[in-house]
Structure 1
Amino acid sequence: MNPRSYLLESFAVAVKAADPTHIVSSHLPPPPLGRTFVVGAGKASAAMASVVENTWPAVAQLDGLVITRYGHTLPTHKIKVVEAGHPIPDEKGKQAAQEILATVQTLRSEDLLLCLFSGGGSSLLSLPIEGISLHDLQAATQQLLRCGASIQEINIVRKHLSAIQGGRLAAACKAPILALIISDVTGDEATHIASGPCSPDPSTFSDALDVLDRYHLDVPKTVRQILLAGKKRVISETPKPGSPIFNQVENRIIANAHQSLSAAAYYYQKHGINTLILGDTVTGESREIAKSYAALIREIKRYPQTLKPPLALLSGGETTVTLKGSGRGGRNSEFLLSLLIELSALEKVYALACDTDGLDGTENNAGALISPDSLMRANKLGLDPVSFLSNNDAYTFFQQLNDLVITGPTYTNVNDYRAILAL
């Protein structure tokens, strides 16, 4: 089989392992005596809601509202689906979040709140805390996304600017809560997935201020004022671990990056290719992580005594990009462009890096591919990879090589999938 086909098929296998169609139904509880209200936020929420509808007993009361990214809707009948802005929140998301919070406050002890959360939920379920406008929340989010902060750091700030995240949705509910969660964060902590609407929040307003200061962010004045008010206890903190609010709450991770990497590893092993999973919690600057991986590949190729080709190195997690240029491209394509430069046309090495949600950053590609002839083809087209990397323009580079991976929405999200194939 062509090495590129191996890479693309392994990515498909990894995505399938996190497909809501295959994983949600086995986690559904029996219906309660009263009403089941379904809420959700994330790129997988509509797909998860569709499974709930198709599985739920017809005689049981069921309705709800989930928020997903534009273009990620699937047909439902009882559960309303709203498309909203991602990664920058918008008015549609705000209005849907308001409706969710208002309805949850009416639930009774005999009802059930069934939550469906996945990656992307932090921006989709955006209901600014009193005193902050949506415009100011958008401006703060834009800065957070561009500064190179980790998703955990970003979500610490988001939770303290939200009226519904950081456990505040659970605090508003009198009914038992089951949250089914597809994890897109390293460590799989529920508090960081969709910014933890039903999860205890161990972070504080002071922690959020520390993030702003660490990255020297010039956020709108109202944002800093709210965080300072919270630090001075003028505003109530988010609910903390140990709070009785969470006595009837279960946050259950039903899919994560490790499951997808394991599925891809099994795929390669079936084809006689040795496999090593480097971890599902890889973080750091995309281009710097690529340099480390390139060094490892060169070592394996030069001294194959321990790890012998054919070998697939697999990893997940979420790298970051500190934007300094004006180009196009997400963290996966930037990782690959840096890897390509570092490998310098090393023979018989191929690689793929893609986001499992099908969207690398804000572009229309999941990621990209490289092969031993990528540099040669780039040179023929007059493309200087170093210049493209300096301008954060990996998308354009791989677009001109016809090496983008475009899948469309996958309706799931367990973060990045990277595979390096050494033959």
Structure 2
Amino acid sequence: MSIENHDELATTPARETALSCVAAGIEAALPERVVADHVRVVDGTLVVSPAAGGDATDDLDSFSTVRLVGAGKGAGRLAAALVDVLDGRVDGGVVVADEPADAGPVDVCVGDHPVPTDRNVDAARRIRDCVADAPADALVLVALTGGASALLTLPAGALTVDDLAGATRDLLDSGASIDELNAVRKHCSAVKGGRLAGAGAPTRLVTLAVSDVVGDDPSVVGSGPTAPDSTTYTDALAVLDRYEVDAPAVREHLQRGVDGTEPETPRADDPAFDRADYHVLANAETALSAAATEARERGYEPLVLSSCIEGEACEAGRFHAAVAREASATGRPVRPPAVLLSGGECTVSVGGDGIGGPNLEFGLAAALALRGTDDVAVAAVDTDGRDGSTDAAGALVDGATVTDEGAARAALADNDSLGYLEERNAVPRTGATGTNVNDLRVVVVDRER
């Protein structure tokens, strides 16, 4: 995995180190690498070694057929890697991704993200049918990566994709967390919230996930199509109320669920999960560990602040800048040369008309707090290579990025972090990486004062 404008951005040792740590983190989470590290076939037995440890096995000869379905930004590449490992044993399937890919016998449909369209619906219907039509003695593998919540869209009841797209857009702009957004999505879907597993029961179902959510909750990754759900219609309706989102058709559907007219999502004791297993192959820790190793090999002391940073991007950016200043001034919490690392998923409450994303806003807020320093560089990227709805991976800033405080603050107020940073050589680009394990932030502190 390479950063397309690496040479242009790497103007100081600190900036170059930040970029190298970012690249190492993303590369460790690429589907091909993840499958090679965690999935293998030994004497006809499928062996899965999840990131959390421990092996799970399935005797491939005991199944009449093997199908592969999935969804997410990296689902095409994850499916291709799994097809290669199973070496001719996958008989067919369907996945939906936002980029085309060649996965052999598995059809890769291209959908839209983050707001779903009819393409997503057509693909999701094919995926559900593929699972529902599988014989009882089949093995169905489900490849999930970040972005599956939007890409795997099949409206429930009388809802349309436009109804869901409008609610999704309004909740994203309001700064709703992924858990909140997915509570709504699950209760407006015919496949999310465990309903895909229900469509396939009693077929053997094994989910292989690359997690893009804090805590790796299977019911939240991709809105949990193959996992039990603990949220309710009441919870989903409360999310719309909390963020004052109108969405009349969605509200009407959720209210029917509250009234008992629509069936609730399946719980953990539902028979749909009797033959369903779930394994996380990679997550934020995967990227953080690789970035830490890269930092150590370069002579820096790595310190992981947290893999669970959430909240407003600007506030998180200022916090990371404050920790960097503290390390530089006092050697706390780590003595420089050091690299501070964090993962998680920040949000932005959109009030302006500009173009940006959480990592771009994080970077611009950090740059404002670091102006005038000459020993710190900060990189913040979305590991899928696209921050928000932009084509930028995120931001790379230092103490020289902001020279006009007023303009920088105005850009933040207008949510135009991309416009401001693009003019100041502060926007790394990777293109679509094919993976997604949340945001990755690298703070390089070159020396102690």
Which residue in 1 is equivalent to 2:146? 119
Q: Is the 8 A contact 1:184 1:193 kept in 2?
A: yes
> Structure 1 residue aligned with 2:30, among 19, 27, 31?
19
Which residue in 2 is equivalent to 1:344? 371
> Structure 2 residue aligned with 1:387, among 388, 391, 410?
410
Secondary structure of residue in 2 paired with 1:190? coil
How many residue pairs were aligned?
Answer: 415
Q: Is the 8 A contact 2:95 2:108 kept in 1?
A: yes
The Cα of 1:307 is off from its aligned counterpart by: 2.0
C-alpha RMSD of the superposition:
1.5
The Cα of 1:129 is off from its aligned counterpart by: 0.1
> Structure 2 residue aligned with 1:165, among 176, 192, 198?
192
Residues 1:305 and 1:340: Cα distance change in structure 2 (over 3 Å):
closer
Q: Is the 8 A contact 1:276 1:312 kept in 2?
A: yes
> Structure 1 residue aligned with 2:95, among 66, 73, 78?
66
Which residue in 2 is equivalent to 1:212? 240
> Structure 2 residue aligned with 1:190, among 210, 218, 225?
218
Which residue in 2 is equivalent to 1:201? 229
- CA deviation map 1:173-205 (0-9, x unaligned): 131000000000000011111100000000000
Which residue in 1 is equivalent to 2:70? 40
Alignment of 1:126-275 (within 5 A): 126-173=153-200, 174-219=202-247, 221-275=248-302
Write the letter of the residue equivalent to 2:13. Answer: N
> Structure 1 residue aligned with 2:303, among 276, 280, 285?
276
User: In structure 2, what is the Cα distance between the partners aligned to 1:37 and 1:130?
Assistant: 28
Note the residue ranges of structure 1 that are not aligned, 5 or more in a row. none
The Cα of 1:61 is off from its aligned counterpart by: 4.9
User: In structure 2, what is the Cα distance between the partners aligned to 1:9 and 1:300?
Assistant: 21
Secondary structure of residue in 2 paired with 1:253? strand
Are 2:426 and 1:403 aligned? yes
> Structure 1 residue aligned with 2:344, among 317, 336, 358?
317
Moved more, 33-42 or 311-320: 33-42
Which residue in 2 is equivalent to 1:2? 13
Alignment of 1:293-312 (within 5 A): 293-304=320-331, 307-312=334-339
The Cα of 1:409 is off from its aligned counterpart by: 0.8
Which residue in 2 is equivalent to 1:332? 359
Moved more, 184-193 or 33-42: 33-42
Moved more, 241-250 or 151-160: 241-250
User: In structure 1, what is the Cα distance between the partners aligned to 2:90 and 2:395?
Assistant: 45
The Cα of 1:63 is off from its aligned counterpart by: 0.4
Q: Is the 8 A contact 1:383 1:397 kept in 2?
A: no
The Cα of 1:302 is off from its aligned counterpart by: 2.2
- CA deviation map 1:77-136 (0-9, x unaligned): 210001111000010110111111122111122101100001000000000001111111
- CA deviation map 1:329-386 (0-9, x unaligned): 110010010111122222311110001000001111101111222124xx4xx98111
Secondary structure of residue in 1 paired with 2:128? helix
The Cα of 1:262 is off from its aligned counterpart by: 1.1
Q: Is the 8 A contact 2:39 2:85 kept in 1?
A: no
User: In structure 2, what is the Cα distance between the partners aligned to 1:49 and 1:336?
Assistant: 33
Q: Is the 8 A contact 1:34 1:61 kept in 2?
A: no
Secondary structure of residue in 2 paired with 1:269? helix
User: In structure 2, what is the Cα distance between the partners aligned to 1:322 and 1:93?
Assistant: 26
- CA deviation map 1:4-53 (0-9, x unaligned): 11111111110111111112244252535211111110011000111122
User: In structure 1, what is the Cα distance between the partners aligned to 2:398 and 2:109?
Assistant: 40
User: In structure 1, what is the Cα distance between the partners aligned to 2:118 and 2:192?
Assistant: 17
Secondary structure of residue in 2 paired with 1:113? strand
Identity of aligned residues (%): 36
Q: Is the 8 A contact 2:14 2:445 kept in 1?
A: no
Residues 1:51 and 1:305: Cα distance change in structure 2 (over 3 Å):
closer
Q: TM-score, normalised by structure 1?
A: 0.95
Moved more, 341-350 or 14-23: 341-350
User: In structure 2, what is the Cα distance between the partners aligned to 1:339 and 1:68?
Assistant: 33
Residues 1:61 and 1:314: Cα distance change in structure 2 (over 3 Å):
closer
- CA deviation map 1:297-346 (0-9, x unaligned): 22222222652111111000000000001001110010010111122222
User: In structure 2, what is the Cα distance between the partners aligned to 1:292 and 1:305?
Assistant: 14
User: In structure 2, what is the Cα distance between the partners aligned to 1:287 and 1:371?
Assistant: 15
Q: Is the 8 A contact 2:326 2:332 kept in 1?
A: no
